[in-house]
Amino acid sequence: MLMFIDTNVFLTFYHFSNDDLEELRKLRVLLERKEVVLYLPQQVVEEFWRNRESKIFDALKNLKSQKVSFPFPQFCKDYEEYQHLRQLQRHYAQKHAQLIDKVVADIRSHSLKADVVIQELFDNASHLSIDEQTWELARRRMEVGNPPGKRGSLGDALNWEVLLKHVPEGQDLYFITDDKDFKSPLDEDSFNEFLLMEWQQKKGSNLKFYKSMSAFFRDHFPNISLASELEKDLLIRDLANSSSFAETHSIIAKLRNYSEFSMSQVNAIVQAAISNNQVYWIINDEDVREFLTGVVSGKEEHITPENLAELRQLLGDAQTPGVEDAWDEILF
């Protein structure tokens, strides 16, 4: 899966946004596992660092202005509730000041949670440099008035041209931006028609447009809210597709780092164990047996009955195939 994320999407995590930082953590999981290639043009990196401080400044200004020191009429002061409310106001003001001090310290040290996660994404991305040919193509695009962008501004045109140059032909690109210069003038939920036609003609593939990270994850991982859950789901998928005993042991070792699994994950693990011979042939190996027994224990009533019965039979009767059995499988 190939992906481009515009600068404005990264910057939303420093401002008031409906997207949670967990969306970026989920993307980090996909990048680390090579499930996604994130194309990161140099223009995006430079634009991000140019705008990070101003975005934070605006959000911080709004945070500092949040007060609860409402005045009370004189006749309220004889009531017990008034004293309680005044106490809550003072407590809020104290915690508010402490929060701002901590936030400012983290801003200065580049240790906001958003800083850490975005830097990890940048470290794992595929960086795209901009050469003279790309500069010239972007200038020409701007001069003739072709989208994206506006006259006198090359940023969007540079990103577009560098993606046209580097994204392989025939492969779809997931394009995430909330920049109106990439959107249709008729419908902000659709991509610009000129750009979409250009992409399809030059790349022979589709461009799939999303306005936010949350919209992308709703489409592709709708039941996963946390990065840790995404990691578990991908590991369970790997277990189902394991092609060797060594790979099975490695996946089991990673899954054993998690103490909790959802009911759907438990059923998926059981299904992998009874359907993949690279799992059930070594089901009596200590690590495999202990993991499967622990996953199932106490959850039996939530597991598909026939799958549970088959797993129990395997745990009771299975033996690791000998060398001759393995060769029989290969030859016949």
Tell me, yes or no, whether 81 lies in a domain: no
What local confidence, expressed as pLDDT, does residue 22 receive? 86
**91 located within any domain:** no
Statement to judge: residues 138 and 51 lie in one domain: yes
37 belongs to a structural domain: yes
For residue 108, is it within any domain? no
Q: What backbone phi and psi angles, to 5 degrees, belong to 74? A: -60, -35
Q: Are residues 138 and 255 in the same domain?
A: no
Give residue 326's pLDDT. Answer: 40
305 and 211 co-located in one domain? no
Query: Is the same domain home to 146 and 256?
Result: no
Domain ends where: 219, 244, 273?
A: 219
Same domain, residue pair 307 and 210: no
Q: What is the DSSP letter of 123?
A: H
Instruction: Summarize the confidence of residues 43-56 as an average pLDDT.
Output: 93
* 242 shares a domain with 200: no
Residue 45 Cα to chain centre, angstroms:
18
Q: How far apart are CA 137 and CA 112, in angstroms?
A: 37
Residue that terminates a domain, selected from 164, 186, 219:
219
Decide if 232 is inside a domain: yes
Into how many domains does the chain fold? 2
3-state secondary structure of 2: strand
- Based on the fold, state whether residues 144 and 266 are members of the same structural domain: no
Q: How many CB atoms lie within 10 A of CB 142?
A: 21
CATH number at residue 124: 3.40.50.1010
**What residue numbers bound the domain in which 46 lies?**
2-65+118-219
Q: SS3 for 323?
A: helix
Going by their DSSP bridges, the two strands 37-41 and 207-210 should be labelled as unpaired
Task: Please check whether residues 264 and 326 belong to one and the same domain.
Answer: yes
Return the higher-pLDDT residue of 331 and 15.
15
3-state SS, residue 128: strand
The whole-number average pLDDT for the span 221-226 is 80
Instruction: Assign 65 a pLDDT band (cuts: 50, 70, 90).
Output: confident
Q: Which of 2, 1, 331 is nearest to 166 (CA)?
A: 2
For residues 320 and 182, membership in a common domain is answered with no
Question: Pairing between strand 37-41 and 2-5?
Answer: parallel
**CA-closest candidate to residue 295, choices 254, 257, 329, 261:** 261
Closest CA to 248 of 174, 300, 144, 320: 320
Residue 154 and residue 47 share a domain = yes
Structure tokens at 275: 């359907």
* Residue 66 scores a pLDDT above 80: yes
Asked if residue 92 is part of any domain, the answer here is no
Pair type for strands 37-41 and 173-176: unpaired
Residue 19 lies in a domain: yes
243 and 302 housed in the same domain: yes
Q: Of 166, 195, 219, which marks where a domain is finished?
A: 219
**Local confidence band at 19 (pLDDT 50, 70, 90 cut-offs):** low
Q: What is the pLDDT of residues 157-214, one digit of tens each?
A: 999 999 999 999 999 999 999 999 999 999 989 999 999 999 999 999 999 999 998 8
Average pLDDT over residues 19-39: 89
Of the pLDDT bands very low, low, confident and very high (cuts 50, 70, 90), residue 332 is: very low
Residues 6 or more apart in contact with residue 25 via CB below 8 angstroms: 117, 226, 227
Q: Are residues 126 and 262 in the same domain?
A: no
* Residue 78 lies inside a defined structural domain of this protein: no
Task: Give residue-wise pLDDT tens across range 105-123.
Answer: 999 998 888 899 999 999 9
